[in-house]
Each structure stands twice: as structure tokens, then as C-alpha cells.
Structure 1
Amino acid sequence: MASVLHAEPTVVVVGGGLAGLSASLDIINGGGRVILVEGEGNTGGNSAKASSGINGAGTETQEKLGIKDSPELLVKDTLSAGDSENDKKLVEILAANSADAVEFLRGVEVDLTDVNLCGGHSVPRTHWIPSPKEGRPIPAGFEIMKRLRTRLNEKQSENPEAFKLLTQTKMVGILRENGKVSGIEIVTSASGEKSKIIGDAVILATGGFSADETLLKEFGAEIFGFPTTNGAFAKGDGVKIARALGAKIIGMENIQIHPTAFVDPKDPSAGTKFLAAEAIRGKGALLINSKGQRFGNELGRRDYLTGKILELAEPIEESFQGGSAGRNAAIMIMNEANVEAFGRPAFNFYSIVKKFFAKYENSAELAKALGIDESAIKTTLEEYQKSFDGKSEDPFGKKVFPVSAISPTEPIYAAIVVPAIHYTMGGLKIDEATRVIDEHGKPIVGLFAAGEVTGGVHGSNRLAGNSLLECVVFGRIAGKSAAQSAAETRTEL
């Protein structure tokens, strides 16, 4: 009997971050329908907070800037950062599709024509939005989410049946019928009542669990109590609900502590911190401890720098910019050249609006504020200048020295930074088609996942810029895979 397609396939996408929106756009572009379920009042999630940008290897922008890069080199750096605990097949997919991911975002009018060098990378490849000379800065994550949402709204205007968005709607269960996922169970904030959304396939793009006490205590007891850079919505719902369905979880103990989260002088003990973008160090910012000494390679891996701060940087007293509330902390310092390279408007947000940075006329003034001998910081900066000039090797193995060294005689901007929970590398096990795998190694039919809800891509430690990349690459793959699965469901023999 001939196959008959009853209607357009419908995919339920859970989570309105970058992975969810990338998947949704791919499905709609392919002629499918999407019901997007988001627990918060609007789309964005932690993706909207991302500040350093998205990795791309062998892009048109890199070529124009004379940067030689390749997917193979990105694979090497990603595996090195993750201590080769990564799923290598997923890493190869990530890297092979990285340049296309950047073009996908440029296709929705995101200007990604500046490239930054971030920690753990062998070449500059983290694409971000050029900072304007004047006016308000445009954070990469926020702009990406805004542009994708705009494009989805346009698609909805063209075909109202193609895209339906349900906000303040929380997934509380996954439905399965005849061995196949058939939708989700939800609770809306307005009614508080349970109901069902039926679909032909489901994509979980629900993010990580960096703000969830239950999973953090189970898999990261040793870091429980650290502050976080995540929104309170990062509760790991997708992981918990799929796990109860029989999904396999991997790498859950791999929880990334970002080394540099700003301490707010107005509230030093706040449990949620504002991320000090890795791009700042990529433009030449240095890290010193309260004794005025450097203690590590500012462009080293995140876990490496976090370890150095916890080992070699003591808590900072209240007398200096409000202190660090008893937490081991570093002081991030920049000069005018570093600020200009990072972008004056973006820096002004940190310094003038948020007041994270204070300005000192020279190293002697900074030393006085810290209550240490003025020779301490002066010596540190003079030694770094020698490494910057190539006259001596950096004692911490730093090979790339961005923009400018800081002179003891010039104005210095300083902010207190502390390690904070930032990202969860573990999550649901997926295959190359983003199908969620169960405890027996079999795909759960009709269930797909992408983004931080999954595990395997990053190994033990995530490379900066790979989070947005993972969301675009595997979000789009999930969209294609789920659309195909949905179409097959709608076909009857």
C-alpha cells in the first residue's frame, strides 16, 4: 500500500535557548512545524548571557584576518581541554560544522566579524561582535538570541501554523506510547494544572544543572556552595526527566568552575555572579593576587586557572573594593590599550554601570590600596614586560601576549574576580544524530537532545566558545533528525 503523509510533521522543542531556537528554525526551514515550550517568560536562557562568542575554524572572517585555522586544529584543542574524555565523534562533528555554524548566524544578520583568542586555544577563533566606538555594547549571546527570535517571528508571520511558542510553561514529564516518545506533560504558570502536548518527536534543549541543588549535591558535592554565573532556571529538568525515563547520563561529575566572575563591591557575598568574559583576558588583562603577584597563565584552561586561584590567591580584605567575602580571589588588571582592544562601551558597562572596576593612577596607587609594598606590583609588571618583549620566557608558560603589557606608571583598572560554577559538561548521552541513548545503549525512539542538557562533547573541561557552537551545530542536527523522525511517524503503509 502506498505511503500517505497525513499532515506536516510537528516537533515539540523544550527550551528556548540557542539550541532550541536553532533546532526550531531548521525544522521550519525544512517545512515542518514546531511547538516551542519555554519555562521562563521569554526565550534566551543562559545563551543570552554568553559574552565571549562562538568558535569557528576555517571561517571567511579568519581568512580575511590572516588567521590560519582548521577543523582538525579545533578538534585537537577541544580534546586537549577535555583531557580526551570527550566523545571524539561528537567533537569531530562539532569542528567540521563550526564554520557553517558561524555562517548560519551571519545568515540571520549577526555581525561576527571580530575574532578573539580565548584560553586553551592555539589560534584566535572565537567570533564575536565588534565593539562600537561609541554607544552601547552588543553582547554576542544576547544579539544572537534576538536575531534568531526575530527570524522565527518572521516565519510565524508567513505561516502561523509553522511556529507556536508557549512561555511560562514547564515540562514535567515525557510521554511515550507504543515504545515511542509522543509528546510531553506540562504545567503552565497561569493555571498550575497539568496538560499534554502531543507531537511526532521531542527535542530536549533544556540546558544544564548549574543552579540545581539536587544534582550538584549528587555529582559535585565538593564544589557545592560556590557562587554561580547561571540563572536560577538552570535546574537540569531535561536531565532529570529523561533519566527517569531510562536515558543514560554521562560525565555528570564534570562541572566547570569559571575562574573569573566579578565580585560586586555593593554585594560581595552574592551567590549569583556576573561573568568576567574570557575575552577580557584575550585582550591582555592580567591576573594578580592580593600580594601583587601573577600566579598563572591568563590564557590557560579554565580549570587550570581556577586551581591556581584556589591555591595561590587568598581572600581579599574588605578594605580593598569591598573584598571577596572570604573567597579566594584574584584581581584582574587592565590598561587603556587593553580596554580599547576589548571595546570601550563594553568595558564602560563593567566599570561605570556595574562599578566592578576601580581606576588607579599607577601601580604604586594600586599597591597602596591593597596595603602592600609598591615594589610588589611594579616588579610583577616589569617582569611581564620582559616576557611580552621576548626578552625572557614567561614563568607560567604563556606563549601569546595580546595587545599591550601594563606599565607601572600608567593608569590601571582593577576588579576582584572569583571562581564560580559556570557550566555542566555532563548530561544525556546522545549519538551523532542527537538521538537520546538509553541505559541499554539503544536510542529512545522519538527523543532528541542538544546543548548543555547533553554530555560527551566537552569531556572534563569545556573550551571557551564551544558552548554556543555546540548549541548551533547540534541544535540544527537535532532539528533535522527530529523532523525526519516526525515525518516517518506521520507516514502509514
Structure 2
Amino acid sequence: MKKTVALCSAFLLMVSAMSGCSTSNNKPAEQQPSAPATAYDEEKTADVIVVGAGGAGLSAAIAATDNGAQNVIIIEKSNRTGGNLNLTSGSMSAAETSLQKEAGIEDTKASFVEDIMKNGAQLGNRELVEAFVNEDTDMFEWMLEHGLADNEFSLDKATGGKAVFAPEHQLYSVQRTYKPKADDKEHYSSAAHEVLDQYIKTLDNVTIDFNTDGVKLLANDKGQVLSVEAVTEDGKTIKYTANKGVVMATGGYSGNFKLMGKYAEHGADYLSSTTSMGEGLRMMQEVGANVDEKAMSYIPTFPMGVQTGPQSGTIGSTYTWKAGGICVNQEGKRFVNEQEARVDVREVALEEQPGAVQYDIFTDKIIADLSAAGGDMMYQLYFNPETGRAKNLVKSAATLDELAALINVPAEALKATVETYNKAVDGEAEDEFGRSFDATPSAYSLAVNKIEGDKFYAIPLKALVVMTLGGVSIDTQTHVLDESGNVIPGLYAAGECTGGIWGKFVSGGTGVMGPITFGRIAGRTAMTDTLAEGYTVKAVSNLFDASLFEKETASADRFDMSKTLKDGEYTATVEGQEGQMTVKTTIADGKISAVEIVEQHETAGVADKAISDLPAAIVTENSVNVDTISGCTLSSGRILDAVTDCLNQASAQ
């Protein structure tokens, strides 16, 4: 099996050079629509071409058919629909809904707009936020009418209704978040995905071409961007041409550490729960789409990333700071009030730390008090030294000196930090970050303790990215705009590939309803527009360098197969799609002789090929430095991470 290489990078460069869209030094160049770049294996035509089958893409396709499209083709590079909806339980938000009225909750769209602007640090685009809010209610009600109303919802304790507060984000002024659960939990993580996907399946005039990667946009001789070049899994080239418009719904760049590192000081060190590279942004830049450089730095994180792979992670926290624990950086120093109620304050504080990493420091007494108060669910799930899914991350020592050595932070600094903190707990000094030590229990404080005892613990957590907020500029009708603010005829965008809408932080439920709602607007606009002629298509002046989208040879960094391995059976557990994945690796005669997936909870029908084929490939190659299975990237990565853990165990014997 060949080693992993940058996906289609050679093809991308070849097509770019032949099409004349950009020059080798990335200076803008006019596209030459009349000179075909290549002969295609196949050409397809539809009223609307949608690139990406996530929430935005599915919604756009539905809206296009509702507005008269005879046929719609969705191009999807993976083997499944949903995009990031496969990675979230799918909280939704909308104002003035029937569910709020049933619960007796008074809400206004104007209030929703103001909350979004406030939560985004007043850096969002008010016109776009208003466009979202005004369309969002109708979109949400449409989903209720098409099956969502029958799903199970989390209920609000105060009203008993389906409109709730969502504490994982900054709270809205009223309950306007909805947490429905998917009925078919085996195939769907979110109810929103389930409703859209099931409805799409009823539309005979919508076709989804899976395992097909859109790589380039093309303009016709009228200056209208109506064609997409794509490459299939088996290397065939297809040209898709739209009669009405192309909707780009290609997602964000939260899996592109190079691009995040370009715009955030420690962005290259973040963990990510996605593999989204953001290639669609460069595709649109090549035909003139403006990208707001400032918005590209708006990369919200969770200050609770549990590392599950080289740079992959999942949401998880010890929450030991609720019972007296502290968080320190790589310098052994505290950097924030750990009990700060504003989540964004803690998010930014961690983002600014070296390596975007913190160590939760705690003791047995702190864990005991956390458990007694009922706040240890996530600790038990991930970090319990006996059963936790991420128990390998737990470091313990009899002294702070020993603990500092284990986590590689300066011992004197860590001891001084603990001493200063303990004095504040005793009331001998004010806490340097304003932390209160009132013994009255609250949502963020369950007990008061000093860092003292017979044993000390540390667990590393990193800034975790689940979505990005930068992307191309659009107007309220989702037209893609160029650097001068002009509409690029035929080109529309929705979802995470658009930028500057929400501001610096995302509001609860907009990560799901934003793409779905703007996708609806895009599909409708594409069908009702009159396209201008005579537009000059050329690349933007700040075209992203192609190297930012080249994937690293992930295999090389996974494990040094020249190491000596001790014979035996080794088991490792990693976080999976809907639960833990456990893999047993057998070493015989110093080589990998068997790989068995003992337990897994991956999505059936999606991860099947990785589950069936990858273990054999690892054994055949006697290496974890092998290609992931196309269309099963996340599941492949989990298998490889688990086997790598086993190899580390075998090499340490």
C-alpha cells in the first residue's frame, strides 16, 4: 500500500496551471473560459450544482427544487451526507417559534439579533445576522413540519417546554435553543441531519455524487461561474455545469492546522474534531471571491479538548476546577479564573497559552468532593484511572516536584503557583484572577479546596476547534462577492465556508441552523436570479498559497517502525464516533501479526470499509504508516491511533 500523500495536490496544480486561473507566484490572472483545460471523462448538467452535502448543501438542494429546479446534483467528497452534523448532537436555535409559544416563552427576532451580536463581541455583520434570523424561524418550522416535531427533545426544567438554555455557549436572554435527539441513532448524530437527509431521499430530482471531490470552479464566456471540475475516488475527471447557479457548501477549515496557524498565534497547536481543510475557500478565491482576513482569525475553541490522536480531539473536561482544582500552562502558572462564568473568556485565555494547552491540577480530596456533588460524570467517562477512555492522559505523583517533571513544567514555578493559590483559598490574599472562594455551591463552584494532600494529579487539555468563522464574503442573498464588493455571477455560498457573519464567537444553535438557513436562501436565490453577463473573472490579490492545503504525510509522524517490538498482545482504547473504540494488536516475532477491533461504535454503513479493510492493511504492511480508507477518514484515524498506542506499549517493554 502506498504511503499517504497530499490529496490530489498534483492534480490541483496541474489544473490550476492549465486553466490560467492563477500564476505560479499567486498573482491574480484572468481566467480563460474559452480554452478548455482538459478533456473530461464525463460531463453532467443540472439546474443547480451544489458542492458539499452537509446541512447547507442539503438545504440548498431542497430549496432549489422547491423553487422550480428540474434537477440538482450534489457533489460530496466523502461517502456520506451531513458534514459536521455527523460530529454534533445538533443544538438548534430560532426565535418566535411555535415551541416557545407552547411553553409560554415570549421572544422576538430583534432580541435574537442583539444576542447574536453581543455574543460575537459586536464583530458580526448585522445585515447578515438579520437575514439569518428572519429566515431561520420559517426554516425551523419547516423542519418541525417535516418530522422534527416527532423527535425526542431535551426539556427545560423551569417551563417543561422544548425551548431551553444551552450552557455550553453564552446564554441567550431567553430560552431559544432546541436539543432534539435523532430517532435513528445508529446512522445520525443529529436530528437536523436526519430530517434533511430523509427528505432528500424522497426527491427524485436530486442526485448525490459521493466520493467526488470538487477541485476547481470555471466561468463561461459570459463571465458566469457555472461549472465545477471534480475528481472521483478512482481518478476520473467530471465537469459539472449548472443552468442556474453553483452553490458552494464546502465547510470550514478547522482541520487545516497550517491555515489556522496563519491566522491564530497558536492555531497550529489546536486539536480538531473535524478533517475540514477549507479547499473550497481557495476554489472561490481563484474566481475572485473575497476572503475577510480579519474574520479568518475568528476560530472559536472549547477550553476542554481531550486528545485522541496526533491532532484530533473530542470535548471533555475534568471539571476539577469546580471543586478546588486549578489550571496551569506550560510555564507552571495559572492564567485565568477557572470558574469564570463567561465561556469565551476561558476560551481566549487558553488559546493564548503556549501550545494552547493547560494542565488541570487536582488531588484526591478534590475528586471526592466533585463526585459527592454529582459533578464527576465527565471525569469518570474519560479520566478515571481504572475505566476512563483517556486514562492514559492522567499523571500522578507524590510531590509537586515529581508531577512537574512528568508534565514537563518548571517545578519551582508550579510550587509557587500552588502556594499563592492556597493562600488565597485561606483568605491570606486576594486571588490574582478574582476567583471567589465562597462555599455556597453554584454551577461553577461545587466545593472549596486547596491543592494539598498525599497525591497530586495533572491532566493536559487543549484548545479544541469544532468550527471556524472565517470564509468568503456574501450578501444577504448569499451571492459571493469579489474584492470590490461586486457579485460574482452564478456563484453562491452558504455554511461554514462563508465568513464574517457571526463575529468572534458563535452563538448557541447557529452552528447548525446557520448553514441550514443560509443554504435555503442560496438554493432559492440560485433559481430566481437573473445572471449578469460580461463579468471579468480573475483570482483575488491575496490568493491562499496552495501549500496551505497540502496534507502532511501523516504516516511519517505516527510511529517509527524501526523500533524493537516485544511479542505479546496489547490493547488500546480511543474515543470513537458514538463511544469508545478498543483495538487489540498482536506482536509476533517482532512484527504486527494481527489487529482486532474488539469494540467500536462507529456509524454503520460509513465506517464499514475502514473496520473491514484497515486492520489487514496494517498487518500486510507491518506498519501504521499506511493510507487511511477513502471516505472513512475519521474511523481510519481512530484505528491507527489505537494501534499506534499498542505499538508504543510494545516498544516500551
TM-score, length-scaled by structure 2: 0.55
Structure 1 residue 82: Cα displacement: 2.2
Structure 1 residue 422: Cα displacement: 3.4
Structure 1 residue 204: Cα displacement: 0.3
In structure 1, distance between residues paired with 2:67 and 2:379: 41
- Which residue in the other structure is 2:200 paired with? 152
Relative distance call for 1:298 and 1:23 in structure 2 (3 A) is farther
- Where 2:123 maps in the other structure, the secondary structure is coil
Alignment of 1:129 with 2:183, yes or no, is: no
In structure 2, distance between residues paired with 1:287 and 1:477: 47
Structure 1 residue 42: Cα displacement: 1.2
* CA-to-aligned-CA distance 1:378-399 (integer Å, 9 cap, x gap): 999999xxxxxxxxxx958xxx
In structure 2, distance between residues paired with 1:62 and 1:336: 35
- Where 1:149 maps in the other structure, the secondary structure is helix
* CA-to-aligned-CA distance 1:78-133 (integer Å, 9 cap, x gap): 2122232211100112223333333233233354454234432233332112699x
Structure 1 residue 444: Cα displacement: 0.9
- Which residue in the other structure is 1:97 paired with? 135
- Which residue in the other structure is 1:327 paired with? 357
In structure 1, distance between residues paired with 2:287 and 2:226: 13
AA partner of residue 17 (structure 1): G
- Which residue in the other structure is 1:323 paired with? none
Relative distance call for 1:335 and 1:348 in structure 2 (3 A) is closer
Say if 2:300 and 2:504, in contact at 8 Å, map to a contact too: no
- Which residue in the other structure is 2:287 paired with? 245
In structure 1, distance between residues paired with 2:481 and 2:461: 39
Match of 2:60 among 4, 12, 23: 23
In structure 2, distance between residues paired with 1:47 and 1:130: 12
Structure 1 residue 10: Cα displacement: 1.6
Let me know the Cα RMSD of the aligned residues: 4.5
Say if 1:296 and 1:305, in contact at 8 Å, map to a contact too: yes
Structure 1 residue 180: Cα displacement: 1.2
In structure 2, distance between residues paired with 1:370 and 1:149: 50
In structure 2, distance between residues paired with 1:179 and 1:408: 66
In structure 2, distance between residues paired with 1:446 and 1:41: 27
In structure 1, distance between residues paired with 2:301 and 2:470: 16
Structure 1 residue 286: Cα displacement: 9.7
Relative distance call for 1:378 and 1:164 in structure 2 (3 A) is farther
In structure 2, distance between residues paired with 1:103 and 1:447: 28
Relative distance call for 1:474 and 1:357 in structure 2 (3 A) is farther
In structure 2, distance between residues paired with 1:98 and 1:166: 28
AA partner of residue 302 (structure 2): P
User: Of the two, which has the highest radius of gyration?
Assistant: 2
Moved more, 83-92 or 68-77: 68-77
Structure 1 residue 60: Cα displacement: 2.9
- Which residue in the other structure is 1:355 paired with? 389
* 1:433-448 mapped onto 2 (5 Å cutoff): 433-448=477-492
In structure 1, distance between residues paired with 2:470 and 2:248: 14
Match of 2:348 among 307, 320, 333: 307
Q: What runs of 5+ residues in structure 2 fail to find an aligned partner?
A: 1-44, 156-163, 393-399, 405-413, 428-433, 450-457, 534-653
* CA-to-aligned-CA distance 1:374-417 (integer Å, 9 cap, x gap): 9999999999xxxxxxxxxx958xxxx976963579xxxx9863
Structure 1 residue 237: Cα displacement: 1.6
AA partner of residue 308 (structure 1): A
Structure 1 residue 426: Cα displacement: 1.4
Say if 1:228 and 1:421, in contact at 8 Å, map to a contact too: yes
In structure 2, distance between residues paired with 1:406 and 1:130: 29
- Which residue in the other structure is 2:147 paired with? 108
Structure 1 residue 13: Cα displacement: 0.6
Say if 1:292 and 1:376, in contact at 8 Å, map to a contact too: no
Structure 1 residue 169: Cα displacement: 0.5
- Where 1:424 maps in the other structure, the secondary structure is coil
AA partner of residue 225 (structure 1): A
Structure 1 residue 339: Cα displacement: 6.4
- Where 1:10 maps in the other structure, the secondary structure is strand
* CA-to-aligned-CA distance 1:255-305 (integer Å, 9 cap, x gap): 3241333324xx5x731111349xx99xx9998426999814554143x21
Aligned residues: 426
In structure 1, distance between residues paired with 2:515 and 2:72: 17
* CA-to-aligned-CA distance 1:147-185 (integer Å, 9 cap, x gap): 3212211x23xx3xx011111111111121111122211
Say if 1:206 and 1:452, in contact at 8 Å, map to a contact too: yes
Q: What runs of 5+ residues in structure 1 fail to find an aligned partner?
A: 1-7, 316-325, 359-366, 384-393
Match of 2:518 among 467, 474, 478: 474
Alignment of 1:55 with 2:93, yes or no, is: yes
- Where 1:289 maps in the other structure, the secondary structure is strand
AA partner of residue 95 (structure 2): A
Moved more, 197-206 or 286-295: 286-295
In structure 2, distance between residues paired with 1:449 and 1:272: 27
- Which residue in the other structure is 1:275 paired with? 315
* 1:381-400 mapped onto 2 (5 Å cutoff): none
Relative distance call for 1:357 and 1:91 in structure 2 (3 A) is farther
Match of 1:432 among 476, 490, 495: 476
Relative distance call for 1:26 and 1:486 in structure 2 (3 A) is farther
- Where 1:253 maps in the other structure, the secondary structure is helix
Say if 1:288 and 1:331, in contact at 8 Å, map to a contact too: yes
- Where 1:199 maps in the other structure, the secondary structure is strand
Say if 2:295 and 2:471, in contact at 8 Å, map to a contact too: yes
In structure 1, distance between residues paired with 2:381 and 2:493: 35
- Where 2:48 maps in the other structure, the secondary structure is strand
* CA-to-aligned-CA distance 1:134-159 (integer Å, 9 cap, x gap): xx979985332233212211x23xx3
- Where 2:310 maps in the other structure, the secondary structure is coil
In structure 2, distance between residues paired with 1:292 and 1:15: 44
Alignment of 1:14 with 2:51, yes or no, is: yes
Counting aligned pairs with the same residue, the percent is 24
Alignment of 1:71 with 2:119, yes or no, is: no
* 1:196-215 mapped onto 2 (5 Å cutoff): 196-200=239-243, 201-215=245-259
Relative distance call for 1:475 and 1:276 in structure 2 (3 A) is farther
Relative distance call for 1:20 and 1:130 in structure 2 (3 A) is closer
Structure 1 residue 307: Cα displacement: 2.9
AA partner of residue 112 (structure 2): L
In structure 1, distance between residues paired with 2:316 and 2:255: 19
AA partner of residue 506 (structure 2): R
- Which residue in the other structure is 1:176 paired with? 219
AA partner of residue 261 (structure 1): M
In structure 2, distance between residues paired with 1:30 and 1:379: 67
In structure 1, distance between residues paired with 2:499 and 2:122: 14
